[in-house]
């Protein structure tokens, strides 16, 4: 029994007792079940397992702390209406916003943050981390840390461009279909069905094999694949608005389609569309990451998270986690966006019901 | 019964038409290739003569519509033409790999489907508890992670660090079934993690949606205990959404399987497709795409037909 | 209240307080209500929307809906305190001793089970009856409730049965364990008047026969007068007053109650058609119409509307009255016949009409919520037609909007910059009227403009419309199913059934016999404030001749599908 183990259980049990004393039932249940789990984990995994649990708990509480502080920060700087809504946001959403904010900073200021250039060979291949290279070198001797920073700009930028294009095409078609109705609506609906009946990754592979893999092709292909989803959602959202009497009133007044879309439908569709933009970004981002992992995305030497995983995958068989960092970066951003979207969806559904 | 029969037939017909349109799309996409296909395949250095030979061999001198009908006719019989690179039959190259992929997907589905549905229903019943929130965060994390991330994490912790399972799924002919299950455990587990998360979330949403219906409140106000409300009143109406969830996620497995196969070097059709795309071996690309798309469409079709068949309003017409 | 003695108290609610969760806080919905119900007594709970009637009904079963909680007071049912009882104890009462009949039977029956299986569920669960006994009992109850084909109807699925029949089947289901108390939560609100009668008659009979106590929740005074021994009036979660039905009707004490009773008194003098050869402003001539691929919904519809007059178009759901409005506005081009505006034929599709033609015919909608864009400010909602048709801009536009707001009796400076969701139902409806007026029309279609409003507010709207008509010489086409509204404001009446005009003429003629049989059925089915009205009517018609005669078959089936 080391000091660590004794301290570990003492703190847990003391905290549980305090929770009971202050009648915080939930906190107590959480702490005490953690204690019980620790007994089992400690017996099976030894001190190592307990240390892992401690690390995890520390990371979790750090994340929670950062989110809490960031939320307060946002509440302070936002205008009153927004601030009130932010105050009710769950910690997960605040965490998501914080992560998105960090990525945005990293992406925008990449050349100033990264210590080296993304294509700059500064060392031998797979050189271990040192004072100069935070995470060591990749298979060609480039600084992995710098490439991850640049990846924020390249990978996220590409996904953002594709999402925006998909959104513009899909949303525009969806709004038009909702207003026009009739054969245009029918035709667009069928067309969307056909594109959506091919799995997205497979469709992307087919298109890229034909048109090659330059950035422009990737953006267009991905946008074409995802615009039917946006189309469907926009059509559904706008469809709920179009049946309203105020649209009928505007039509009977003799207003044109463009006025209907701009002044009557769009203001009532923004909340679900913004949430959908977040979701769509996640899908696009994962697809593009998958494509570059397969070597069909952004081409070297430009830094890109998906291909970095592939290039350095051999390190994993030596038990090195470095190649997982860009993959984790992808996962973290997607989780963050999803957290925020979750909150927005909850909010918009809560307002309705 | 005639109403429901008509609906099912209509849906099947629509599925067939979609499949046909998709096959046209897949075939003629290659026609969109800028310039000459034979030239593109052989590269700039090719002589006139070799290009002409290849054109002959690919049948490029026929009009496109004839070649499409030939290709489609062959595809229905399992003949997808000849590989541009190896010169071997595409059908032969695909068959074994397709079976391997099917095996992997089935392996994952058999674990994931019951697991996810039970968990999904549980989470729905315990909504807004700590357990529900934890599950929400976990599943969200899981669906947000790229498949290759989960795959490598599993390799790192369950293979490299502990040595419990092989990192690479090399299959050989004379393996026992147990050995097969062990070799393919990690790729299957990766798929299970992703699909379970998706399925749990969708099942939860479907059940919660159902529990808000007035007839559920009526059952409660009739004094029925909670388990009876669920089993007798919610479940019979939940089949359609659950069938949808299952089919959608099986369809999702198809896309996920490509990346997972590459991570674990699994000899499946996804790996083949990725290789063919890199080498621009169009007959193989087309064949793989058609197979993936057909499976996807069939699963969606099955979901639709399933929800029609389990809809009490349609099952008992007026 | 002499009929009931204090010994027989079944339900005793004291100082009940219920809170609802909204905007992250608990706000009170019920603010201390007392209620004492005796065995065999039927109490009517009435009040406008938001009065908390339904919430009290659920609380009487010890049930708080999701998002609400009982925060204080006591609910004693037959000596048992429900607020402190365990969930299991409370559950054991539901279905066996206290039963519930919901507003929408179509949504409250489980679509996956046969009606009779849902009926027998409670008695079998409580081991009161064996399955077969319960089934026999169900058939007997169906017979008593005069459901057609009582031996077989239970073996159908809910969607195979019409709305009025389902509502009776649900009443039968509530009776399955012979409860001491039944809560009826607006059981006839979703039904047409002719269907409503038979459900009312059935409910009253069965409650009488088994001497069951009941709480009857409704917003319709005339309905509650037929059903209840005692009436309790609620307003915003508080009791206004309570008295026996006779006393409540003849001698209400509180101002609020008096105003409710007075609503139906508004009447304006009837006008006759001009005799100087003025052309009708709108003339519908021999119109047939159908929706794509469907059956004919309008069959040879003709009528005229003269300037400055109000024509009420009356009929039940599915009669084609709203479709007629769609034909006039050009949303649904007729398959035969045409519509004349001031003697000139209008193009059948609205897209082909000129701005001036569009301007002259305006529309006011039933649901003010969906008729006003929630994301557009009042000044733009009202200002846009003025800008669009008259090209007003800047200060002139502002002045016009102020003028219109004055016209509808809303303070311009207060409402100019607000959004529709910030307004009350009546205010929204006024804004809808102002939008129609902004186009300076000669003719306005009013589509059930008062039916979504509480009665007091509705009366205000009717008075406003009447004043505007006199000041601006407007012609109204008034679509409604409510004959009380017709009585108060119409000059002429058009009665529609199944897409045909059954009868038309000046109002005084329409309300004096002889009538077309359907008009007769419609007129006599509208509940009146007289507590003996239903009894008298049933005697006149004979028990077996109520309902179904006129309209049930067609629109009843539509209702089950849409639910």
- Using 50, 70 and 90 to split pLDDT, how confident is the model at A199? confident
Q: Render pLDDT for C41-58 as a digit per residue (tens, 0 to 9).
A: 888 888 877 778 888 888
Comparing C448 with B318, the larger pLDDT belongs to C448
Q: How far A194 CA sits from the closest chain B CA (Å)?
A: 6
| A223 half-sphere exposure, CB direction, 13 A CA radius | 19
| Better pLDDT: A121 or C545 | A121
Residues of B within 8 A of C159 (CB-CB) are 312-313, 316, 318
Asked if C110 has any chain B CB less than 8 Å from its own CB, the reply is yes
Compute φ and ψ for C296, nearest 5 degrees: -60, 130
Taking a C-beta distance cutoff of 8 angstroms, is the pair A222, A162 a contact? yes
Residue numbers in C near A264 (CB within 8 A)? 373, 376
| DSSP 8-state secondary structure symbol assigned to residue A39 | H
Q: What is the pLDDT of residues A162-187, one digit of tens each?
A: 999 999 999 999 999 998 888 888 89
Give the DSSP H or E segment for C120: helix C115-125
Per-residue model confidence as pLDDT tens digits over C512-529: 777 788 888 887 787 777
Q: Which residue of A has its CA nearest to C25?
A: A88
Q: Do C94 and B217 touch (CB under 8 A)?
A: no
> C113 and B225 in contact by Cβ < 8 A?
no
Nearest 10 degrees: CA dihedral of B65, B70, B76, B79? Answer: -140
Residue found by looking up tokens 């105003």 in the block? C259
CA distance B121 to chain C (A): 19
Q: Say if C95 is an interface residue toward chain B (CB within 8 Å).
A: yes
Does pLDDT of B42 surpass 70?
no
What's the rounded mean pLDDT across residues C267-273? 80
Which residues in chain C have Cβ-Cβ distances shorter than 8 Å to A268? 373-375
Q: Is the pLDDT of residue B40 over 70?
A: no
B215 touches chain C (CB under 8 A): yes
* Ranges of CATH 1.10.3720.10 domains, chain A: 144-348
Judged on CB neighbours under 10 Å (0-12, 13-18, 19+), A14 is: exposed
More confident residue, C546 or A252: A252
Domains and CATH numbers, chain C: 10-107+180-262 (3.40.50.300), 369-440 (no CATH)
- Asked if C376 has any chain A CB less than 8 Å from its own CB, the reply is yes
Each residue's pLDDT tens digit, B251-300: 878 778 888 888 888 888 888 888 888 888 888 888 888 888 888 888 88
Residues of chain A with pLDDT > 70, as a percent, come to 98
- The reply to whether residue B316 touches residue C157, judged by beta carbons under 8 angstroms, is yes
What share of chain A has pLDDT > 90, as a percent? Answer: 15
> What would the mean pLDDT of C483-507 be, rounded to a whole number?
86
Neighbour-count burial of B168, counting CB atoms closer than 10 A to its CB (0-12 exposed, 13-18 middle, 19+ buried)? middle
Q: Which residues of A touch C (CB under 8 A)?
A: 88, 244-246, 248-249, 251-255, 263-264, 267-268
Query: Is 80 exceeded by the pLDDT of residue A25?
Result: no
Q: For residue C553, name the pLDDT band (cuts at 50, 70, 90).
A: very low
> CA-CA distance, B48 to B38, in Å (whole number)?
10
pLDDT value for C363 = 92
Residues 6+ apart with CB under 8 A from C138: C116, C119, C120, C154, C172, C176
* Burial bucket for residue C357 (CB in 10 Å: 0-12, 13-18, 19+): middle
Pull the structure tokens for residue C498: 């199944």
pLDDT in tens, A62-92: 988 998 888 888 888 888 777 877 887 888 8
Enumerate the residues of chain A whose CB falls inside 8 A of the CB of residue B251. 199
Q: How far is C364 from chain A (nearest CA, A)?
A: 9
Q: Is B126 on the interface with C (CB under 8 A)?
A: no
Residue of A nearest to B290 (CA): A198
Chains that touch A (3 or more CB pairs under 8 A): B, C
Picking from B34, B146, B254, the nearest residue to A290 by CB comes out as B146
- With 70 as the cut, is the pLDDT of residue B108 above it? yes
Residue written as tokens 């279909």? A177
Q: How confident is the model at residue A333 (pLDDT cuts 50, 70, 90)?
A: very high
Q: Are C198 and C116 a contacting pair, CB within 8 Å?
A: no
Rg (CA), chain A: 25
Q: Are A252 and C363 inside 8 Å of each other by CB? A: yes
- Name the closest residue on chain B to residue A310, using Cα atoms: B263
Best C65, C91, C112, C163 residue to mutate vs chain B (most B CBs within 10 Å)? C112
Model confidence over A221-267: pLDDT tens digits? 999 999 998 999 899 889 888 888 899 999 998 888 899 998 889 88
Kindly report the average pLDDT of chain A as a whole number: 85
CB contact under 8 A, B144 and A316: no
The pLDDT, as a whole number, for residue C311 is 92
Helices in B77-175 by DSSP H: which ranges?
90-125, 130-144, 147-154
Average pLDDT over residues C220-234: 85
How far is C388 from C359, CA to CA, in rounded Å?
10
Q: How far does B225 lie from chain C, in Å, by closest CA?
A: 8
Among A34-48, A134-148, B47-61, whose mean pLDDT is lowest?
Answer: B47-61
Of the candidate CATH numbers 1.10.3720.10, 1.10.8.60, 3.40.50.2300, 1.20.120.80, the domain formed by A144-348 belongs to 1.10.3720.10
The span from the first CA to the last CA of chain B, in angstroms, equals 10
| Cβ(C491)–Cβ(C506) below 8 Å | yes
pLDDT band at C476 (very low <50, low <70, confident <90, very high): very high
Contact present, A106 and A95 (Cβ < 8 Å): no
Minimal Cα distance from A347: which residue of C?
C23
Q: What CATH class has B100-268?
A: mainly alpha
ipTM attached to this prediction: 0.84
Q: Give chain B positions within 8 Å (CB) of A317.
A: 155, 160, 167
**Mean of pLDDT over chain C:** 83
Are C119 and C157 contacting, i.e. CB atoms less than 8 angstroms apart?
no
Asked whether C549 and C194 are in contact (CB, 8 A), the reply is: yes
Better pLDDT: C541 or C12? C12
DSSP assignment string, B257-285: HHHHHHHTT--SHHHHHHHHHHHT-HHHH
Q: Are C313 and C321 spatial neighbours (Cβ–Cβ below 8 Å)?
A: yes
Q: Is B121 helix (H, G, I), strand (E, B) or coil?
A: helix
Of A119, A111, A95, whose CA–CA distance to A149 is shortest? A111
- Alpha-helical (H) ranges within C131-254 are 131-144, 163-175, 193-210, 221-227, 245-250
The answer for residues whose C-beta is within 8 angstroms of residue A320's C-beta and 6 or more apart is none
pTM for the whole thing? 0.83
Cβ-Cβ pairs closer than 8 A, B with C, add up to 73
In angstroms, rounded to a whole number, what is the distance separating the alpha carbons of residues A203 and A195? 9
Q: What is the C-alpha separation between C242 and C45, in angstroms, rounded?
A: 9
With cut-offs at 50, 70 and 90, classify the pLDDT of residue C546: low
Rounded to the nearest angstrom, the minimum Cα separation between A334 and chain C is: 29
Q: How distant is the alpha carbon of residue B127 from its chain centre?
A: 30
> A310-329 pLDDT, tens per residue?
888 888 878 788 888 888 88
- Name the band, by pLDDT with cuts 50, 70 and 90, for residue A351: very low
Residue C534, min C-alpha distance to chain A (Å) = 37
Q: Give the ranges where chain A is alpha helix by DSSP (H).
A: 3-21, 25-77, 80-87, 91-108, 110-113, 144-180, 182-196, 200-211, 215-242, 245-253, 257-259, 266-293, 305-311, 324-352
Taking only the tens place, the pLDDT of each residue in C116-144 is: 889 888 888 888 888 888 888 889 888 88
To the nearest whole Å, the CA of A250 is away from the closest chain C CA by 9
A-chain CB neighbours of B155 within 8 Å are: 316-317
Query: Is the bond leading into C26 cis (omega within 30 degrees of zero)?
Result: no
Confidence of residue A153 (pLDDT cuts 50, 70, 90): confident
Lowest mean pLDDT among A213-227, B2-16, C257-271: C257-271
Distance CA C247, CA C75 (A): 27
**Would you state the pLDDT for residue B233?**
87
What pLDDT, on the 0 to 100 scale, is given for residue C153? 85
Paired sense of beta strands C475-480 and C296-305, if any: unpaired
Q: Cβ separation of B224 and C96 shorter than 8 Å?
A: no
Alpha carbon C164 to chain centroid, angstroms: 15
Q: Which of A157-161, A245-249, C91-95, C252-256 has the lowest mean pLDDT?
A: C252-256
Q: Is A251 in Cβ contact with C358 (below 8 Å)?
A: no
Q: Tell me the per-residue pLDDT of B115-128, one tens digit each, with 9 for 90 and over.
A: 898 888 888 888 77
Does A330 contact chain B (CB < 8 Å)?
A: yes
Q: Is B102 on the interface with A (CB under 8 A)?
A: no
Contact between C429 and C368 (Cβ < 8 Å): yes
Residue C448 has pLDDT above 90, yes or no: no
Instruction: Give the least confident one: A71-85, A114-128, C47-61, C546-560.
Output: C546-560
Give the DSSP letter of residue A297: S
For the cut 70, the answer to whether the pLDDT of residue B58 exceeds it is no
> How confident is the model over B67-95, as pLDDT tens digits?
888 888 888 887 777 777 777 777 888 88
CA C51 – CA C35 distance, rounded (Å): 15
Q: What is the pLDDT of residue B242?
A: 84
Note the pLDDT of residue C560: 36
Cis-peptide into C549, omega within 30 deg: no
The residues, ordered by sequence, that sit 6+ positions from C434 with a Cβ below 8 Å of its Cβ are C382, C404, C405, C407, C408, C410
- The string of DSSP letters for C350-362 reads GGGS-HHHHHHEE
Per-window interface: B 163-222 vs A, CB < 8 A? 167
Domain extents for chain B? 100-268
- Interface contact flag, B149 A206, Cβ < 8 Å: no
* Burial tier of A219 (Cβ tally within 10 Å: 0-12, 13-18, 19+): buried
* Dist. CA C514–CA B33, nearest whole Å: 81
How far, in Å, CA of B290 to CA of B268, rounded?
A: 15
How many H-runs (helices) and E-runs (strands) does chain B carry?
A: 15, 0
pLDDT of residue B223: 85
Nearest CA in chain C to A268: C375
pLDDT at C431: 92
Q: What is residue C23's predicted lDDT score, i.e. its pLDDT?
A: 66
C184 vs C181: CA distance, rounded Å: 10
In this predicted structure, the answer to whether residue C358 has a pLDDT above a threshold of 60 is yes
| B16 interfacial to chain A (CB closer than 8 Å) | no
Q: Which of C146, C270, C240, C252 is nearest to C529 (CA)?
A: C252
State how far the Cα of A214 lies from the Cα of C293, in Å rounded to an integer.
50
């Amino acid at each position: 029994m080391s000091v660590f183990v004794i301290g570990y259980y003492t703190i847990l049990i003391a905290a549980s007792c305090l929770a009971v004393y202050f009648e915080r039932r939930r906190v107590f249940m959480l702490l005490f079940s953690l204690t019980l789990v620790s007994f089992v984990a400690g017996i099976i995994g030894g001190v190592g397992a307990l240390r892992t649990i401690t690390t995890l708990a520390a990371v979790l509480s750090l994340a929670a702390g950062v989110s809490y502080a960031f939320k307060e920060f946002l509440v302070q700087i936002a205008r009153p209406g927004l601030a009130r809504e932010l105050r009710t946001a769950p910690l997960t959403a605040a965490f998501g916003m914080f992560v998105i904010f960090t990525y945005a900073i990293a992406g925008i200021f990449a050349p100033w943050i990264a210590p080296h250039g993304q294509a700059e060979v500064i060392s031998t291949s797979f050189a271990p981390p040192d004072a100069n290279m935070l995470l060591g070198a990749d298979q060609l001797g480039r600084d992995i840390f710098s490439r991850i920073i640049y990846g924020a700009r390249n990978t996220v930028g590409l996904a953002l461009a594709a999402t925006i294009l998909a959104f513009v095409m899909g949303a525009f078609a969806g709004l038009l279909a909702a207003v026009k109705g009739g054969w245009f609506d029918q035709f667009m609906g069928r067309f969307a069905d056909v594109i959506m009946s091919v799995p997205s990754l497979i469709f992307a592979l087919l298109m890229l094999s034909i048109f090659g893999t330059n950035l422009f092709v990737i953006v267009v292909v991905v946008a074409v694949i995802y615009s039917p989803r946006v189309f469907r959602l926009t059509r559904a959202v706008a469809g709920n608005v179009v049946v309203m009497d105020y649209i009928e009133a505007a039509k009977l007044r003799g207003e044109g389609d463009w006025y209907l879309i701009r002044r009557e439908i769009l203001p009532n569709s923004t909340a679900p569309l913004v949430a959908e933009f977040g979701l769509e970004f996640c899908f696009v981002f994962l697809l593009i990451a998958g494509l570059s992992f397969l070597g069909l995305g952004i081409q070297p030497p430009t830094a890109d998270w998906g291909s970095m995983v592939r290039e350095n995958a051999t390190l994993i068989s030596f038990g090195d986690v470095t190649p997982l960092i860009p993959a984790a970066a992808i996962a973290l951003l997607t989780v963050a966006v999803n957290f925020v979207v979750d909150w927005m969806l909850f909010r918009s559904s809560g307002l309705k019901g | 019964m005639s109403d429901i029969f008509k609906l099912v037939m209509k849906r099947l017909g629509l599925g067939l038409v979609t499949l046909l349109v998709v096959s046209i799309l897949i075939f003629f996409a290659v026609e969109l290739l800028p310039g000459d296909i034979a030239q593109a395949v052989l590269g700039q250095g090719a002589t006139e003569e070799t290009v002409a030979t290849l054109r002959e061999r690919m049948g490029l001198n026929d009009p496109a519509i004839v070649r499409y009908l030939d290709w489609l006719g062959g595809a229905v019989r399992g003949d997808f033409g000849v590989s541009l690179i190896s010169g071997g039959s595409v059908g032969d190259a695909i068959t074994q790999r397709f079976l391997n992929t099917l095996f992997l997907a089935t392996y994952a589905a058999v674990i994931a489907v019951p697991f996810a549905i039970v968990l999904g229903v549980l989470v729905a019943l315990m909504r807004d508890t700590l357990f529900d929130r934890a599950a929400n965060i976990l599943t969200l994390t899981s669906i947000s992670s790229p498949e290759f991330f989960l795959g490598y994490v599993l390799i790192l912790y369950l293979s490299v660090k502990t040595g419990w399972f092989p990192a690479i799924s090399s299959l050989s002919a004379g393996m026992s079934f147990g050995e097969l299950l062990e070799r393919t455990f990690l790729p299957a587990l990766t798929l299970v993690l992703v699909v379970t998360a998706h399925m749990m979330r969708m099942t939860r949403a479907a059940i919660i949606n159902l529990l808000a219906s007035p007839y559920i409140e009526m059952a409660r106000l009739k004094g029925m205990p909670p388990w009876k409300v669920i089993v007798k009143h919610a479940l019979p109406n939940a089949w359609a959404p659950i069938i949808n969830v299952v089919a959608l996620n099986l369809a999702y497995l198809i896309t996920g399987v490509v990346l997972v196969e590459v991570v674990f070097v699994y000899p499946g059709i996804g790996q083949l497709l990725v290789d063919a795309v890199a080498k621009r071996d169009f007959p193989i690309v087309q064949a793989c795409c058609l197979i993936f798309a057909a499976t996807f469409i069939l699963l969606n079709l099955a979901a639709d037909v399933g929800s029609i068949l389990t809809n009490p309003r349609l099952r008992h017409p007026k | 209240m002499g009929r009931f003695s204090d010994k027989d108290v079944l339900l005793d609610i004291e100082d009940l307080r219920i809170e609802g969760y909204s905007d992250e806080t608990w706000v009170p919905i019920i603010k201390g209500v007392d209620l004492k119900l005796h065995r065999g007594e039927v109490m009517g709970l009435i009040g406008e929307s938001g009065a908390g009637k339904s919430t009290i009904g659920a609380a009487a079963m010890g049930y708080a809906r999701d998002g609400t909680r009982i925060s204080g007071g006591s609910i004693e049912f037959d000596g048992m305190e429900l607020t402190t009882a365990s969930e299991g104890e409370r559950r054991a009462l539901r279905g066996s001793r206290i039963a519930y009949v919901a507003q929408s039977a179509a949504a409250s029956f489980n679509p996956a089970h046969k009606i009779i299986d849902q009926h027998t569920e409670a008695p079998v669960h409580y081991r009161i009856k064996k399955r077969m006994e319960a089934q026999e009992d169900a058939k007997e109850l169906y017979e008593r409730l005069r459901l057609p084909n009582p031996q077989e109807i239970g073996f159908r699925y809910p969607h195979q049965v019409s709305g009025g029949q389902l509502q009776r089947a649900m009443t039968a289901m509530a009776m399955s364990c012979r409860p001491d108390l039944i809560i009826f939560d607006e059981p006839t609100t979703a039904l047409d008047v002719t269907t409503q009668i038979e459900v009312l008659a059935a409910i009253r009979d069965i409650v009488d026969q088994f001497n069951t106590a009941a709480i009857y929740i409704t917003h319709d005074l005339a309905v509650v007068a037929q059903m209840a021994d005692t009436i309790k009036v609620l307003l915003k979660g508080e009791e206004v007053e309570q008295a026996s039905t006779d006393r409540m009707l003849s001698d209400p004490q509180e101002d609020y109650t008096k105003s409710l009773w007075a609503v139906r008194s508004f009447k304006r003098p009837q006008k006759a058609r001009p005799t100087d050869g003025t052309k009708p402003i709108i003339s519908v001539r021999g119109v047939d119409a159908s929706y794509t691929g469907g059956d004919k919904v309008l069959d040879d519809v003709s009528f005229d509307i003269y300037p400055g007059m109000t024509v009420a178009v009356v009929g039940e759901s599915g009669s084609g009255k709203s479709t007629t409005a769609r034909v006039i506005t050009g949303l649904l081009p007729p398959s035969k016949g045409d519509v004349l505006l001031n003697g000139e034929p209008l193009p059948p599709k609205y897209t082909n009409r000129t701005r001036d033609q569009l301007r002259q015919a305006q529309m006011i909608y039933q649901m003010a919520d969906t008729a006003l864009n929630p994301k557009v400010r009042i000044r733009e909602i009202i200002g846009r037609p003025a800008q669009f048709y008259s090209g007003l801009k800047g200060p002139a536009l502002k002045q016009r909007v102020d003028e219109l707001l004055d016209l509808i009796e809303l303070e311009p400076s207060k409402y100019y910059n607000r959004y529709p969701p910030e307004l009350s139902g009546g205010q929204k409806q006024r804004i809808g009227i102002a939008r129609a007026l902004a186009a300076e029309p000669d003719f306005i279609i009013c589509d059930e403009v008062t039916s979504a409003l509480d009665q007091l507010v509705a009366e205000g709207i009717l008075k406003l419309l009447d004043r505007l008509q006199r000041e601006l010489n407007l012609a109204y086409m008034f679509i409604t199913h409510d004959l009380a509204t017709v009585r108060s404001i119409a000059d002429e009446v058009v009665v529609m059934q199944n897409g045909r005009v059954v009868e038309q003429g000046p109002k005084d003629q329409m309300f004096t016999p002889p009538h077309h049989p359907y008009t007769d059925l419609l007129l006599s089915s509208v509940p009146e404030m007289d507590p003996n009205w239903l009894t008298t009517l049933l005697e006149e018609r004979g028990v077996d001749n109520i309902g179904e005669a006129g309209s049930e078959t067609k629109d009843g089936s539509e209702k089950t599908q849409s639910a």
